[in-house]
Amino acid sequence: MISKHSCEQSGGGEGVEVVKNEASVHPQHGPGQLTEKRIYLSSKLPSWAKAFVPRFFYVTEKAWNFYPYTITGVSFLPKFNIRIETKFENNNGDNDNVFGDMPTPADSVSFLDILSDPIPVKHYKESEDLSIWQSNKTGRGPLEKGWRNEQQPVMCSYKRVHCSFEVYGFQTKTEEFIHRNIRDILLVGHRQAVAWIDEWHGLSLDDVREYERAMQERTNSKVKSNQSSTGEDAAPDPHRGWERREREG
């Protein structure tokens, strides 16, 4: 359903362009899937950040999916990176050492409740409101207060997010902006994953790959259409531009 979410968020020259989606084998985590995406988001940047980037600006996202563990990395400049580790477990979020290295301090943990946590108004859809949603295929829903302790089956998606932007004067502001937006993206995306269950429940892995392929073609077309109509060239590689400025400085 990530493919559908990406398609919905794309258009007007912005959104998610899929560059690569292929099978991969990791020496530690075994067989899985590798994806590489370009995320165009110029209009979504705050005004103080737009001065640094071209009109059609993108960041590169690479994700390694070795279910139930995934690694996602986002890069733009050598001094900027985001790393998200994900672990899926069949519990209600009560594992305080899910990644197996050290417990996360309580004040660094944020619980996202797909039922009751507020989302940006622009993302609200009645069909994705889990307080009134019901699945035709599974009979699940609607969710009610206390669902996390009472609903079965239940799964928790644990995320460990690391963000750094090592540019003096912008570090704190940028990192806070990114963490806030990642929270919104995760909350909306996981609400949709549940609300869209009738679209993916019962699909085979081959069905999923075919669905991804078709959806990615639609998404790439939506992203590129506006860039072509405005006569803009493809977005310049932001990494190269930064390297030149570093050398010239």
Sheet holding 80-89, edge to edge: 15-26, 30-40, 58-66, 69-75, 80-89, 156-165
Is 135 strand, coil or helix? coil
Inter-CA distances, 127 with 49, 132, 153, 195, Å: 34, 8, 22, 7
Distance in angstroms (rounded) separating the CA atoms of residues 150 and 79: 44
Output the pLDDT for position 201.
Answer: 92
Residue 233 lies in a domain: yes
With contact defined as beta carbons under 8 Å apart, do 162 and 173 qualify? Answer: no
Output the pLDDT for position 10.
Answer: 60
Output the pLDDT for position 248.
Answer: 40
pLDDT tens string 207-225: 998 988 888 888 778 777 6
Residue 219 lies in a domain: yes
Low-confidence ranges of the chain (pLDDT < 50): 232-249
Distance in angstroms (rounded) separating the CA atoms of residues 241 and 130: 44
Angle at 195 between CA 194 and CA 199, to 5 degrees: 90
The residue type at 1: M
- Tally of domains within the chain: 1
Output the pLDDT for position 241.
Answer: 44
Residue 24 lies in a domain: yes
Residue 44 lies in a domain: yes
* Whole-prediction pTM: 0.79
Give the sign of the dihedral formed by CA 89, CA 161, CA 141, CA 214.
negative
Output the pLDDT for position 171.
Answer: 78
Distance in angstroms (rounded) separating the CA atoms of residues 50 and 28: 39
With contact defined as beta carbons under 8 Å apart, do 33 and 3 qualify? Answer: no
Pairing between strand 58-66 and 69-75? antiparallel
Residue 171 lies in a domain: yes
Output the pLDDT for position 50.
Answer: 62
- Domain hosting residue 102, numbered range: 2-109+156-186+204-238
Distance in angstroms (rounded) separating the CA atoms of residues 46 and 44: 7
Output the pLDDT for position 180.
Answer: 85
Residue 131 lies in a domain: no
Output the pLDDT for position 227.
Answer: 55
Residue 134 lies in a domain: no
With contact defined as beta carbons under 8 Å apart, do 43 and 14 qualify? Answer: yes
Output the pLDDT for position 6.
Answer: 64
Output the pLDDT for position 26.
Answer: 82
Residue located via tokens 């099978």 = 23
